[in-house]
């Protein structure tokens, strides 16, 4: 808390709760974690596909383990970042528990990350997805 704000509250009392009017910018700022989560979903799905579809076959069929040594940690980082952003979005109230569980489970299916990104893009833009349209 800055000293200017402390002085103002001391002199004039705290600001009324309803004094802040939400703006479009603040509503977009609230959806920023979902945008980052969509980006992380694409990155996680891409690294998983590269790991499973390219690096592991190169290791076992081509006797070239360097690809797994490189892509393994890259995928691990993107997976942890995805889960961190997922928990952050859940904590901010942007996702329900069932949505968060579904999105967490989708991280283990190679192509599901792209569908997750599509779901999150529709959520951010305000377009209904199939489940909420029912």
pTM above 0.85, yes or no: no
CB 100 within 8 A of CB 89: yes
**Total structural domains within the chain:** 1
Structural domain of 58: 44-125
**Gap between the Cα atoms of 5 and 35, Å rounded:** 32
Inside any domain, residue 34? no
Inside any domain, residue 36? no
Inside any domain, residue 131? no
Tell me which H or E stretch contains 116: helix 112-125
Per-residue pLDDT of the chain (134 residues; tens, 9 = 90+): 555 555 555 555 555 555 444 444 445 557 899 999 999 999 999 999 999 999 999 999 999 999 999 999 999 999 999 999 999 999 999 999 999 999 999 999 989 999 999 999 999 988 765 655 54
Backbone angles phi, psi at 110, to 5 degrees: -55, -40
Inside any domain, residue 71? yes
Inside any domain, residue 75? yes
């Amino acid at each position: 808390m800055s000293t200017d704000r402390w002085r103002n509250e001391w002199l004039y009392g705290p600001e009324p709760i309803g004094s802040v009017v939400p703006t479009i910018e603040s509503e977009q700022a609230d959806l920023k974690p979902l945008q980052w989560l969509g980006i992380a979903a694409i990155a996680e799905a891409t690294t998983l596909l590269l790991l499973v579809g390219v690096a592991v076959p190169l290791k076992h069929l081509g006797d070239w383990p360097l690809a797994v040594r490189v892509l393994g940690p890259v995928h691990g980082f993107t997976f942890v970042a995805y889960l961190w952003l997922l928990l952050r979005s859940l904590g901010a109230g942007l996702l329900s528990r069932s949505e968060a569980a579904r999105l967490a489970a989708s991280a283990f299916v190679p192509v599901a990350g792209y569908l997750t990104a599509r779901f999150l893009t529709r959520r951010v833009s305000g377009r209904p997805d199939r489940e909420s349209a029912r």
